[in-house]
Structure formats: structure tokens, C-alpha cells
Chains A and B, each alone.
Chain A
Amino acid sequence: MAYEKILTRYRDLPNYTGTIDEYITQGGYQALPKALREFQPADLIEIVKRSGLRGRGGAGFPCGVKWGFTPKDSPKPKYLVCNCDESEPGTFKDRMLIEEEPHQLIEGLIISSYAIGCRLAFIYCRGEFVSGAQVLERALREAYGRGYLGTNILGSGFDLDVHVHRGAGAYICGEETGLLESLEGKRGQPRMKPPFPAISGLYRSPTVVNNVETLSNIPHIVLRGAEWYAGIGPPKSAGPRLFSVSGHVERPGNYELPMSITLRELIFDHAGGIPNGRRLKAVIPGGSSAPVLTEQHLDVPMDFESLAAAGSMGGSGGVIVMDDTVCMVRVGEIVSRFYHHESCGQCTQCREGTAWLHKVLRRIEHGQGRKEDLDLLLDMCDNMKGKTICVLSDAAAMPIESYLKHFREEFEIHIRERACPFEGKGAF
């Protein structure tokens, strides 16, 4: 049975540009009046809990549960912050959603703000998303113009203002507490937890941080019901998911599918398979911090639990496909260079560890590896996990560990032959 697209249905419409009139013509802004008139905030939190919606930013935390953590009787204002700092390498779905269908996000943001009792919301937009931020600004003006934002929204007595805040280009500001620091005008570095943002977040007030795709699901859940939503895909990973497929595939791009889809179907049926008759070598299923999978994992479904059981993670939904011309040591060098560059520098293991991972992988790739380097890498990865303020250190260690697990021989050849066997041949 063909899957009926929800978040990206607009993509099949000719000449669709995502203006408020187009969005309304396609059934947009129907969920908002329904939410305001038919439901109390607590009902909405319950509906989202029942829908099974899990965060689409990376950790897959149940959205309704997160909303439920905010205190009911806090004297402080509550804030909703939309995390639009999409920076995980291989992930480009939020960018598409804000550029092409901004009102779906805004409608979701308004309903979510109503649900948690927020009167001032922020969209923290990745600094590089220049046109995305412009589209959001335009869309917000449109929404204010129609009375969907501002005071007494649709006569309900509910007020909401939304600001777009542009980041300055740091991956770590996608980590929710790093994001809040940055939004407060400080250096973007993660905070110690607890307290978690739901208790003490933006300006030390209760705060919910939700990803763009997560919020974009909300209008559909309100309009069509939690049971309908929960019926899409596997029970514990409900709803549609956007997979950003890149690398060695015929048709790279964003694919909206239920999470029951297997890697094989995603890569070969939807993304058109591997070009030039080459073989699949490796695939990163959830953004660059996810451990790598291989051909033997092709029949793993793309839901959170199955990917975890296969030794990887759903992460941000960024699927990076690599054919047999790719050198995994080179991939390790590139990935570790990224985390080295993006470490905020607070924790010892991360600040120094990411630098050393990069240094050791670089010397192996460039023929200067030592035979003790592989054990050194594994020991470093082991000690970098679960010991730091945020998970950037884990995100740097997990992929390298997995490359060594699945492709150890390739690393050994580099060290033994004192050269990269793919040199001058590979795509990387």
C-alpha cells in the first residue's frame, strides 16, 4: 500500500511556495482553532502522549512526556523554543520544512505553546539558514496579519508572540542547553543537568525545546487524532519520519516514510540504489554521530528500537550511504575533524579527546599510523562515552568505535602498508 505523505504532502503540488494562502487552501490552520476551542491545554498534552510522537531531533524522547514535565504552578513564565539549529552532518530535513512549509511549523508551535502555557516562543534558527530564516520571518508576519499570532488569538483569549533568533554557526548550539545559553546571549556551551530545561531552562524558567519536525507533526495529530497517528509505523516509533538520504545513491533527498521501512527499501526502492553498479559498503542511519551499519543490516527497520538493537541509532534521520570506493579511515578522519572543531571545550575528555581522535585518525590515514593506535583509539572511545556534560563526546566516539568494529582490517592495512589503499581511487 502506498504511503500517504503527511508532512511533505505539499511537495506533490505544482508551484507550491508555502505562503499562508496556499497553506490554508491545503487545509492548514484548521488544527489551531480546533485545539483552542475543543481542548484544554492538559487534553492536548494527553493527546500528544497517546499519539506516541517522539522527538525528531536525535534523542527520540516522547514529546508529550517532555511537555508534561513542565510544572503546572510555576510563578515564572514558560517558554517554548523550537530547535531549528539543524547541524548534524547528513541531515537536511528541518531546513526543507522551514523553507517550503513554514506555516505547518508555526501552526504546530502555536498549538504546542497553548498546550504548555507559553506566551513567548522562540525559533532558534541555524545561522547558515539565511533564506530559511527569511522565510520564517515572512511566514510569521503573515500569521500575525491573520490573527494566528499576537493577542487574543482567534478570539480565544490566548496570546502568543514568536521570535526568530539566528545562531552564529556552532553545532553545539543544537544541544538544547547550549542552545538556551546562546539564546540568552552567552557563549554556546551546554549546561550541567539537572536541572533540566523543563524545570529551569531559558532565563531559568520552565522551557520546552522541540525540534522543527516534531512540532510540524502537531497540527496533524490534533486534526486527525492520536489513534490515527499512533497507527502509522511501528507502535513504539509512531508517525511519519523524514529521512535525509545522501551519499552514494541515485536520488539523494528527503523521504517521508513510516519508520517500519527497512534500510534496504529506503536506499534501493526510494533513493534509487547505488550508482554506477557499485556495491553498498556502509551506511550511517541517523546522522554522523550514529554508529555505522553494513550490508548485513539492510533489513533492519528504521525505527528507534530496531536501529538501537542493530548497534546504531535513529538519531536525526540523516542517512549517509557509502559505496565500496569509500575509505572508512578517511571517513573517520573527516567525522573526527568535525567533532574536534565543534567541541565547546568545557569537559576534558571531549576537548582533548576529540582533538586526539582526529590526530590519531589523521596519522593513520596519511600512512603514519602505529600498530598500537587501534587499541589507543578504542580505549579513547571507551573513556569518552557517558562521562561529560553533554553527549558531543559520545557522538565523536561512537562512530569511530563502530568503524573499527566493522572495518578493523582496513585500519590495519593503512598501518601495515603505511599508506591509504584507496588513495586516488575513492570518492572521498
Chain B
Amino acid sequence: MAECSVFIDGKAALVPTGTTILQAAGAVGISIPTLCHHPNLPPIGVCRLCIVDVEVGDFHKQVAACHAEVQDGMTVRTATPELERARRFALELQVADHPSECLDGETGEPCELRDLARRYGVTKRRFMEDETRYPLDESSPVVTIDLNRCILCRRCTRACSLVQGQDILWIMGRGDESRVSPALSLPLRDTACVSCGQCLAHCPTGAIRDKRPLRPPVRPEAVVTSVCPYCGCGCQLDLNVSGEQILRVTSNFDGPANRGSLCAKGRFGYHFVDSPDRLTRPRIRRDGRWEEASWDEALDLVATRLREIRDRHGPDALAVLSSAKATNEENYLIQKFARAVLGTNNVDHCARL
């Protein structure tokens, strides 16, 4: 059967076979709370918030909506009083050792646990304990690992192993001593971590966060989808902006070239944007001193000098070195320019950033 007809909280949905209950619910506008689920990752079913009631014929069970697939004729209830009680309980347990400053919103950073705890009115009232304090791992050049905020949803570990194929982060210890860590509890710096920041991009609580954020973590005025300025791959990314300022760069999981993946530079390398050292206009050296010039002036000078050199020393006195920051098409044009306009085969490429 190619399609399944299901009823979710009384709404009829016709979805392809193999659709999860969570996806089917989303298709009819019903949102089921989750923490470990991420659309970019295969389900793991560990936060247990998305447990729903299902009935197919005589079969009646509670299943994890993120993992269980729909069956034809299935009736799903997503928010019975019992399920909501169970969700509140699971959230209470998660909140019990989550830092108070994060739950109170003092960190200013987004936290999916905080949002759900507020929605369900969950506090630390019943489960009070001294908050365990883990030291931060700040050994990586790009991310800080703060296990105090970790809820063990394993999004980072799945992103590291299944998306990036690096297998750096995994779970050490067992039961309530489980913690996200590189093997042997090594600091991140002492591993083969490539600083891609996939862990950070998937983290729901800020347990893995930018070590050197561009700006304090405030809510952006707008999120603008753009293309990474570094290389020609064309990775999409989201610029979180406030006025003229970039607050941070986040993954855009719909980007056709990269599906949310970014390299260390594409995700973290934007401190140059507002640097006072950054050149924003052409400059010409006259009498040993740099002077700002217009584009016309600068390009005229370059064209004149290239012609002079070619006429006096021949075209092979010239060479073209192009940049990996340019696209394939731009690189094609530059070699065309070298061969057709300058008349030389001296073409090379830096092939690195």
C-alpha cells in the first residue's frame, strides 16, 4: 500500500507508507513536543516526550511518534491527560539538574527545554537537588561544551557520527552518569575534531555553543538566508541579523548544497566582517604610500599596466592566480581571460582557503 489513512486527534491524514507519526501529525498541523528529535537526524527515541497513544484494530499501545511509522487505519491520540502527565514528569526530571540561570532565561540563549518547561508549567519544585557542576570544556578553538546544560538528547553525537562522519562525540558512562564526551574523556582539542560545529548546530539547549560569539546572544531582528562567502561550494546559511550587524550564523537545513552542514570557517569565521582592518575600497600605492581610489581608477591602472607588460615582455610574462573563494564559473572566466585576453597559459589556483 502506497498510502496510509490515519486519524490524529480526530483529524484525517493521508500520508505515504513509511511516514512517522510525528511527520504525519505535522502534516495536519498537530505539533507533538520533542527534544531528541531533529529533522536532519534519524530518530533515536530517547527523550520520550513524543509518546502517543495508538490504536490499530485490537492493538493499543503507547509508542514514540518520532520513530513509529503510521499504519493504515491507525488512530492516534497525541495529548491525552495521561500522556501530558507523563510529559510533565519527563520534563520535571530534565529540569531537576538543569542550571537555574538557563531556566530563568538569564543566559539570553535559546533553550528548547526552557520553552517546553514553561509551556508545561514545570519547575524544580518536586525534584530539588544541588546542581551538579561540570567544568566547561573550552579546549576547542570554536565551541564550548557545557555539560551542565546537556539533556542527553544525543543530537550532537548523531550529528558528529552520522552527518559529519567524525565520531568524536559519544556517550561516556551509563545511566545518570552518562555524559557527552570524546572517547577517554579527552578534551576536544586532543581529538580529531574538525571544528565543523555540527554538534552546536543540533544542540537544543546551548550545552554546546559558540566559544567566541560575534555578539551577545540576543534575539535577532531578522534571519536572512544567504550563501557562504568562503568557497565556491555554495553552502547556504542563515544570517541572524540586527540592523546592519550579523549576530551569528546558523545552519539552514534546507540548503540544497549542504543541508545544514558548514565548515569551521563558514560557521564561525565572520569576525572579519566588522574588522577595522578590513579593506572595503581599492587602494593604490603612490610614492610608497597607500591611497584610497575609485574602482574605475584602480581598474584602469591595472588594465594599463597589464597591457604594457604584455607588449614589452610578451604574454608569458603574465600569470593568473585565482581564488578558491570564487565560484567555478568565476574561475572559468578568469582562465578564459588569461588565455583569450592576455594570451597566456600561466593559470593557477590556490585551491585552499
Contacts and interface: CB of A to CB of B under 8 A. Distances in A.
A352 interface: yes
Q: Which of B49, B93, B175 has the most CB of A within 10 A?
A: B175
A187 B161 CA distance: 15
Given A192-B45, A343-B175, A355-B176, A348 B62 contact: no
Which 4 residue pairs spanning A and B have beta carbons closest together?
Answer: A345-B178, A352-B93, A383-B89, A343-B175
Interface in A353-383: 353-356, 359, 376, 379-380, 383
A342 B93 contact: no
Contacts of A387: 48, 51, 62, 86, 90
Contact of A383 (B86, B127, B174): B86
Interface residues of A, number: 28
Contacts of A346: 44, 46
B173 A345 contact: yes
Interface residues of B, number: 29
B94 interface: yes
Given A192-B67, A356-B127, A387-B51, A348 B90 contact: yes
Interface string B51-95: 100000000001010010000000000000000011001100110
Given A380-B89, A383-B86, A341 B175 contact: yes
Given A349-B93, A352-B176, A356-B96, 16 more contacts: A192-B43, A192-B45, A343-B176, A345-B171, A345-B174, A345-B178, A346-B44, A347-B47, A348-B93, A348-B94, A349-B89, A349-B90, A353-B93, A354-B176, A355-B175, A387-B62
Nearest to B94: A348
Contacts of B176: 340, 343, 345, 351-352, 354-355
Nearest to B96: A352
B152 interface: yes
Nearest to A380: B89
B309 to A, nearest CB: 64
B113 to A, nearest CB: 11
Contacts of A426: none
Contacts of B178: 345, 351
A352 B87 CA distance: 14
A376 B92 CA distance: 12
B281 interface: no
A205 interface: no
Nearest to B93: A352
Contacts of B89: 349, 379-380, 383
Contacts of B173: 345
Contact of A376 (B46, B51, B126, B152): B126
A70 B64 CA distance: 25
Nearest to A170: B174
Interface in A375-428: 376, 379-380, 383, 386-389
A389 B50 CA distance: 12
Contacts of B190: none
B291 interface: no
A359 B128 CA distance: 11
SS class of chain A's interface: helix, strand, loop or mixed? helix
Contacts of A356: 93, 96, 127
Given A354-B176, A387-B62, A348 B48 contact: yes
28 contacts: A170-B174, A192-B45, A192-B67, A343-B174, A343-B175, A344-B174, A344-B175, A345-B152, A345-B174, A345-B178, A347-B46, A347-B47, A348-B47, A348-B48, A348-B49, A348-B90, A348-B93, A348-B94, A348-B152, A349-B90, A354-B175, A354-B176, A355-B175, A356-B96, A383-B90, A386-B62, A387-B86, A388-B48
B329 interface: no
Contacts of A389: 45-46, 64
A428 B83 CA distance: 38
B287 interface: no
Nearest to B83: A387
A347 B48 contact: yes
B274 interface: no
Contacts of A351: 152, 175-176, 178
B177 interface: yes
B22 to A, nearest CB: 13
A407 B26 CA distance: 46
A334 to B, nearest CB: 16
Contacts of B96: 352, 356
A380 B90 CA distance: 10
Nearest to A386: B62
Nearest to A383: B89
Contacts of B174: 170, 343-345
Contacts of B62: 386-387
Interface in B132-191: 152, 171, 173-178
A383 B43 CA distance: 22
A72 to B, nearest CB: 22
A60 B62 CA distance: 21
Contacts of B44: 192, 346
A383 B45 CA distance: 17
Nearest to B85: A383
B310 to A, nearest CB: 65
A1 B67 CA distance: 53
Interface in A31-90: none
A263 B272 CA distance: 78
